[in-house]
């Protein structure tokens, strides 16, 4: 791959930092390498982004929308090229990678549609000759910190609302999957956005910390781990910079005795094995009503056993790899610790010997909440199952956790649906389906799963601040 330069100030420049190798996680072969951006290069990008923001914010929002629609058109034209790069560095199939790119174009168009709908408020004053006007304004430069699992979709999920609300953006891709972001940079360049409105630089943690601590940064938007969220909060305290954090998850799925068991099992297995379980909303904990526990466990076991793994560029129907060796080892350690504590491995649970950072679809029963595998986000194809007697018990188990991002309920009893909908400690609840983050909704977590959120009106407004004007007309 040749995507090894940074997109700074509308130019493609070689980094001045140390060399970063990028591996194909399915084969462990080197697919690219690049020099990271230096602190000086990154701060130069911030300076030009701050200067460009002044003119960008003065455009009518409809004009900014026109640029976003041009970008979406260009993304569609370049989807196969970007997808090919993404597949190579992430372990996804070509079809899945290209679909992610196309979905990113959709969310870009969605945010362009907000151009005529970003509203303020008129608030009655205590004076008969005064009106209070609440206006929405951009924050300045948005620093967008992107994860490795869905690097194109998440990039556009942050970039589009930042731009439509009048901010400029500096994108820091994951160092595991930077080349697809740089390929998208070529597309942004072809779409003709004004100079320095979008800049993409791959950097190490130290340079990223320096960037985030600058006064010109208006918001830091992160999708990542809880530990990464803590680091961003530390960065933000220097200038009390606004943050939006979408962090870890440990999605519980409650399966009631009236559920369509086959459909529920299929949905849960697909959720857990898509992209090798590397989704923050993937089902991780399953609580099954005792009456149907045995047959449901068998359905899960059979389905997980059928999910083979391999190189998806050669066999796209297979489950792909984890992102790196460290993730593979961590996953196996979590499983082995659970087994040592009394869990039963129904299938999977071994460390593959061949090349690639694979881990088999793994199902654990006889687990409990004292085990790390039930407390930590695995971000891997490891599913834990427990029985319950009554809904109150299932709710207590589902809520007994540090995370609160997404949750799932399989039942046809509307009273149970409402009980869970008013009691679950999570930002999302999906009924008889697994999470899919509809971009017109609001993807926001409770507890350690984050601050702020992405998607929809509320996610877009994360990139704004308010100004109240007291207008006296006496």
* H-run or E-run covering 163: helix 151-164
- Helix 151-164 to helix 61-77 angle, to the nearest 10 degrees? 160
Half-sphere exposure of 343 (CA within 13 A, CB side): 28
| Positions in the chain whose pLDDT score sits under 70 | 1-2
Rounded to the nearest angstrom, the gap between the alpha carbon of residue 424 and the centroid of all alpha carbons in its chain is 22
> What is the rounded CA–CA span in Å between residue 363 and residue 179?
34
Annotated active-site residue in 89, 216, 246, 284: 246
User: Under DSSP, is residue 337 helix (H, G, I), strand (E, B) or coil?
Assistant: helix
Annotated active-site residue in 179, 208, 212, 280: 280
* Predicted local confidence at residue 437, as pLDDT: 81
Domain boundaries, the chain: 6-247+450-472, 251-438
- Strands 121-124, 130-138: pairing is antiparallel
Instruction: Assign a CATH topology to domain 251-438.
Output: Aldehyde Dehydrogenase; Chain A, domain 2 (3.40.309)
> What is the rounded CA–CA span in Å between residue 26 and residue 39?
32
> What is the rounded CA–CA span in Å between residue 386 and residue 295?
13
> What is the rounded CA–CA span in Å between residue 296 and residue 302?
10
Residue appearing with tokens 């206006």: 135
Beta-bridged to residue 472, according to DSSP, are 130
Q: What is the pTM of this model?
A: 0.94
> What is the rounded CA–CA span in Å between residue 367 and residue 377?
15
Is residue 280 among the annotated active site residues?
yes
* H-run or E-run covering 352: none
Residue partners of 269: CB distance under 8 A and separation at least 6: 300, 303, 304, 307, 361, 383
**Cβ-count burial of 418 within 10 angstroms (0-12 exposed, 13-18 middle, 19+ buried)?**
exposed
Question: Do residues 356 and 254 lie in contact, with contact meaning Cβ atoms separated by under 8 Å?
Answer: no
CA distances from 272 to 2, 96, 166, 190, 379 (A): 33, 16, 38, 37, 9
> What is the rounded CA–CA span in Å between residue 89 and residue 175?
10
Instruction: Assign a CATH topology to domain 6-247+450-472.
Output: Aldehyde Dehydrogenase; Chain A, domain 1 (3.40.605)
């Amino acid at each position: 791959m040749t995507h090894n330069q940074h997109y700074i100030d509308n130019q493609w420049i070689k980094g001045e930092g140390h060399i970063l190798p990028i591996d194909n996680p399915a084969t462990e072969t080197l697919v690219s390498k690049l020099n990271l951006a230096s602190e000086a290069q990154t701060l130069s990008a911030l300076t030009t982004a701050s200067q460009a923001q002044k003119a960008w914010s003065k455009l009518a929002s409809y004009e900014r929308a026109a640029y976003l629609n041009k970008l979406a058109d260009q993304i569609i034209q370049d989807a196969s090229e970007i997808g090919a790069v993404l597949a190579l560095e992430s372990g996804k199939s070509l079809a899945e990678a290209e679909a992610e790119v196309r979905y990113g174009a959709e969310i870009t168009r969605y945010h362009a549609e907000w151009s005529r709908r970003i509203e303020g408020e008129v608030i009655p004053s205590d004076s008969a000759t005064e009106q209070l006007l609440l206006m929405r304004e951009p924050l300045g430069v948005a620093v967008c910190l992107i994860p490795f699992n869905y690097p194109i979709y998440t990039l556009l999920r942050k970039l589009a609302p930042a731009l439509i609300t009048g901010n400029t953006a500096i994108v820091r891709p994951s160092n595991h999957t930077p080349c697809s972001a740089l390929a998208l940079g070529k597309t942004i360049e072809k779409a003709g956005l004004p100079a320095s409105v979008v800049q993409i630089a791959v950097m190490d943690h130290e340079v990223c910390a320096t960037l985030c601590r600058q006064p010109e940064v208006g918001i830091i938007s992160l999708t990542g781990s809880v530990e990464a969220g803590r680091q961003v909060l530390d960065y933000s305290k220097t200038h009390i910079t606004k943050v939006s954090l979408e962090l870890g998850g440990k999605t519980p799925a409650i399966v009631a005795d009236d559920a369509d068991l086959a459909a529920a099992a299929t949905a849960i297995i697909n959720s857990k094995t898509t992209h090798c379980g590397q989704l923050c909303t993937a089902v991780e904990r399953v609580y099954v009503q005792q009456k149907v526990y045995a047959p449901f466990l068998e359905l899960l076991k059979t389905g997980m056993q059928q999910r083979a793994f391999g190189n998806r560029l050669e066999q796209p129907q297979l489950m792909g790899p984890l992102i790196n060796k460290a993730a593979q080892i961590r996953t196996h350690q979590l499983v082995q610790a659970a087994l040592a504590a009394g869990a039963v491995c129904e299938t999977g649970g071994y460390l593959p010997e061949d090349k690639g950072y694979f881990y088999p679809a793994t199902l654990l029963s006889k687990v409990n909440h004292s085990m790390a595998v039930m407390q930590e986000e695995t971000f891997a194809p490891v599913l834990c199952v427990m029985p319950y007697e009554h809904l109150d018990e299932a709710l207590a188990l589902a809520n007994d956790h540090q995370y609160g991002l997404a949750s799932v309920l399989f039942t046809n009893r509307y009273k149970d649906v409402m009980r869970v909908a008013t009691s679950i400690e999570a930002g999302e609840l999906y009924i008889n389906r697994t999470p899919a983050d509809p971009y017109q909704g609001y993807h926001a977590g409770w507890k350690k799963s984050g601050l702020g959120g992405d998607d929809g009106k509320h996610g877009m407004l994360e990139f704004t601040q308010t100004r109240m004007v007291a207008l006296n007309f006496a």
